[in-house]
Structure 1
Amino acid sequence: MTQNPRTQTLSDAGVSIWLDDLSRQRMDSGNLQELIDTRNIVGVTTNPSIFQAAISGRSEYDADIARLAGEGKDVDAVVETVTTDDVRRAADLFADVYTTSHGFDGRVSIEVDPRLAHETEKTIAQAKHLYEVVGRENVMIKIPATVEGLPAITAAIAEGISVNVTLIFSVARYEEVIDAYLTGLEQAAAAGKDLSTIHSVASFFVSRVDAEIDKRLTDLGGEAVSLQGAAGVANAQAAFGKYLEAFGSERYSALSAKGANVQRALWASTGVKNPEYSDTLYVDNLVADPSVNTMPEKTLDATADHSEPAASLNAEIATSAEGVLERVAAAGVDLDDVFALLEREGVEKFEKAWEELLATVSESIDSARA
């Protein structure tokens, strides 16, 4: 099979395309393997919402749920088993990609229980637990970039666990995430760990930023409306400027000499929410070497059909993007309030999806035991 020329162009430009979805049906049907073979998919990300959609109302999981219920497993244990089984199976599909990319790609992410987003020690404990349960080198444990999540990121990295940091909305928080990663590497080096085996991505959310800021610009009216659709891309571009600074620093150079890897920026929430915007807006304008773009299938299809990538991000583009954010703030948008709100909502959405998943599986357990 040959790769799609537009996704190949992105790959050649240094963008690793990861699918923002996973389900047993997708693997059973061969669809995931087909995307690996034809759309340059080199990784998968999951989250509570994805698992909720995959398992709820699907028959593929019924036999496993019934078997586990018969073994006396409670709902949390059942959910953990079926989700980690899927992640392990996907990780095996990507084993060759993982090897040939020297650990950068071929990654499958699984998130800690979203109800632990504000509990540092429990997050650390579950990160270690999930890493052991999945039992694959190419798994990445997702930890939210809450204030309480930052020390958990450091602790996981120090243990040699590769981490996907999720729910990053602001450049300021992104800088804290980079520091948490570098601190973890420093601790790992002090403990004698092989830094070359530790990887991380920082998931910077994009479309949700535009959705919230656009609403506020509409409320402000006047010239402020002309800034709609600009903040999401600018925010991510400005973040990449911080990536360039941090991983061009003496601090990172000292770690790199010991085998450390960069923490790539990952563009998340890349499905366009406003139908008036280009459906490849968050792909074409966020080409960066290196970076990851995790796409829902609808965005992947649009990319394969008509993506027209812009110039690769650099320090000059990042500086210009900072100017866009300054204009948005000058128009009257409280950016700090926006980012704090989006973080709260992000955690709440994942908590709700997880609770819904637990309720659905609990019903299936009850039916199996009836």
Structure 2
Amino acid sequence: MNDQHNPRTRALSEAGVSIWLDDLSRQAMTSGDLAELISTRDIVGVTTNPSIFQSAIAGVSVYDEDIARLAGEGKDAEAVVEVLTTDDVRSACDLFKEQYEASGGYDGRVSIEVDPRLAHETEATIEQAERLHGIVGRENVMIKIPATEAGLPAITATIAKGISVNVTLIFSVARYQDVIEAYLAGLEQATENGHDLSTIHSVASFFVSRVDTEIDERLAALGGEAEVMRGSAGVANAQVAFGEYLEAFGSERFEALKAKGANVQRPLWASTGVKNPEYPDTLYVDSLVADPSVNTMPGKTLDAVADHSEPGEPLSAETAQKGEKVLDAIAEAGVDLADVFAVLEREGVEKFEKAWEELLSTVKATIEDTRG
């Protein structure tokens, strides 16, 4: 292997953690910055979302020429954004082709999300998932579908079509159980549809830091001994989720699918940038070492990990039990966890909708300027 690899990111990779970068921009690809991260920091995939694209494209001159050309072809803002985002994802897929082939499709993945405004529309989500998969036209693309109630049947239907899926915006263990069920049902339907199960991959993006942000606020409001538990919920929630992973993918149901070539749906730890400066900046990496898993890190977190990561004990059935005790204690202190997770899902969808609308508005203004 490349002896330039950072020893801390290499250690994580050897512990079963696939490091994906939670960011993508054309500048990072054309400048060689992303290629350097691949060669020195064990980056084997990329995730994107509407907020990432909004930051990458809005007001950035490198996109102006393409926007002007596409506007000249008569395309509106929606069509222009679709071209820009799928072009960037296709380029990233090509950049990760070596990792994709070397891992047999396990890594080298690039995710692109369906329009966040479709989060509560099942059929429209299914249609766009298939459309995006076709437009990108690369085997290593993953289509991101939110784990909303409407998203769950869309996940099953998309997997059943033989399309790899990154399930996003998972906050609760209960919803994660639904996501696993959606994946397994999709694999069973994919078999009936004649698809090669070995070519279908999926990750389940379980959000971490946002859970702490919301629960910490509620613990602080309760005061007293409750405040001592601040900063513990996000990791505990993920620990319990990994316990669910172990149970589901060690089941007879999955073993039957595995015999037909099926892959596990790896848990992906998302929202791993620490939002509270009081907490260690590698908290959601060092505390969530699991084999197998994916940790998708923003650049700042990746830098911190490369500098001073100190991984803790690997997640297991035993750590899942510890996590359950923490969540039970938080609930007993007076935090309504069901309400927490409902709020986080709603706000997660709204955040991505807002970013997408802002991106469309910016591109529309650029088009109008181009047309004079």
TM class by shorter chain equals: over 0.9
Distance 2:362 2:231 in 1: 37
Q: Distance in 2 between matches of 1:368 and 1:67?
A: 9
Q: 2 CA distance for matches of 1:295 and 1:69?
A: 34
Give me the CA root mean square deviation: 0.4
Separation in structure 2 between the aligned mates of residue 325 and residue 318 of structure 1, nearest angstrom: 11
| Distance (Å, rounded) in 2 between the aligned partners of 1:124 and 1:276 | 41
Deviations 1:149-204 (A, max 9, x none): 00000000000000000000000000000000000000001112100000000000
2: distance between equivalents of 1:41 and 1:7?
A: 9
Structure 1 position 30 matched with structure 2 position 35: no
3-state DSSP class of the match of 2:81? helix
Whole-angstrom CA distance in 1 between matches of 2:139 and 2:231: 39
CA distance in 2, matches of 1:352, 1:156: 25
What is the TM-score normalised by the length of structure 1? Answer: 1.00
Aligned to 1:13: 15
1:30-179 equivalent positions in 2, closer than 5 A: 30-179=32-181
Alpha-carbon distance in structure 1 between the residues aligned to 2:103 and 2:178: 27
Rounded Cα–Cα distance in structure 1 between residues aligned with 2:96 and 2:49: 18
The residue type paired with residue 134 of structure 2 is: E
Q: Which residue of 1 aligns with 2:306?
A: 304
Aligned mates of 1:48, 1:210 — CA distance in 2: 22
Q: Please state whether the residue corresponding to 1:203 is helix, strand or coil.
A: strand
- Give the letter aligned to residue 108 of structure 2: G
Amino acid at match of 2:213: A
- Aligned partner (choices 205, 223, 232) of residue 221 of structure 1: 223
Q: Deviations over 1:23-67 (max 9, x none)?
A: 001111100000000000000000000000000120000000000
SS in 2 for 1:248: coil
Partner of 1:294: 296
What is the TM-score of this pair, normalised by structure 2?
A: 0.99
Identity %: 75
Aligned length: 370
Which of 339, 343, 346 is 1:344 aligned to?
A: 346
Counterpart residue identity of residue 364, structure 1: T
The 5-angstrom pairing of residues 170-319 of structure 1 reads 170-319=172-321
1:124 match: secondary structure? helix
Give the partner amino acid of 1:10: L
CA separation in 2, counterparts of 1:317 and 1:168? 20
Q: Secondary structure at the match of 2:107?
A: coil
SS at match of 2:216: helix
- Please state how far the C-alpha of 1:279 moved relative to its aligned partner: 0.2
Q: Give the match for residue 357 of structure 1.
A: 359
1-side partners of 2:98 and 2:224: how far apart? Answer: 54
Offset of residue 320 of structure 1: 1.0
Q: For structure 2, list consecutive stretches of 5 or more residues without a partner in the other structure.
A: none
Equivalents in 2 of 1:363, 1:57: separation in Å?
10
